[in-house]
């Protein structure tokens, strides 16, 4: 429970969230091919997860752009 309380003390901007999502996308793009190779993940699942992360990043790009216009 203490961990949950600590997380609530941070105030993340849309730009912070976007940077995190983009970082996570790059990490997954690096690791997923190996995971597919060792059968830890299917290629279909890897493709789907990367597409989902790219979609989330695009959503945050749009939201951050709107935020900058306000």
Q: Where are the domains positioned within the chain?
A: 13-69
Q: Per-residue pLDDT for 4 more than 50?
A: yes
pLDDT band, very low/low/confident/very high, at 66 (cuts 50, 70, 90) = low
pLDDT score at 26: 96
24-52 confidence digits (pLDDT tens): 999 999 999 999 999 999 999 999 999 99
Terminal CA-CA length for the chain: 36
Kindly report the pTM of this predicted structure: 0.76
Q: Per-residue pLDDT for 3 more than 70?
A: no
Tokens of 32: 């997923």
């Amino acid at each position: 429970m203490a961990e949950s309380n600590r997380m609530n003390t941070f105030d993340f901007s849309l730009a912070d969230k976007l940077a995190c999502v983009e970082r996570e996308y790059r990490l997954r793009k690096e690791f997923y091919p190996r995971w597919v190779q060792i059968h830890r993940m299917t290629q279909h699942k890897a493709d789907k997860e990367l597409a989902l992360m790219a979609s989330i990043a695009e959503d945050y790009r749009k939201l951050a752009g709107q935020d900058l216009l306000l």
